[in-house]
Amino acid sequence: MASLILSYSKKIMNGFILKMNAHKEKKLYYMDTDSMYVHYSDYKKYLSDVPDGLCGGKNDYGEDEAIIFARFIGSK
């Protein structure tokens, strides 16, 4: 069951990546099984209108809130 959930979450996340063209334009800063860090303008353009819940997107920090500086040292 766990592998099914993981595979389905990858499918959902890959859909967002393709929608943003992030795989070619390097728009994705960090990604985990159920979260991704993208530029705020990309969030507003591609994800803010997606309803919260399964297959949904939301800003965990609150609407109109953003991280203004982050340092990602290396790949996971």
Pull the structure tokens for residue 30. 């960090």
Distance CA 75, CA 59 (A): 23
Supply the pLDDT for residue 59. 79
Supply the pLDDT for residue 76. 64
Residues 26-55 pLDDT 10s = 888 888 877 888 888 888 887 766 766 666
Across 53-63, average pLDDT:
74
Pull the structure tokens for residue 61. 């920090």
What does the mean pLDDT of the chain come to? 80
User: pTM of the prediction?
Assistant: 0.69
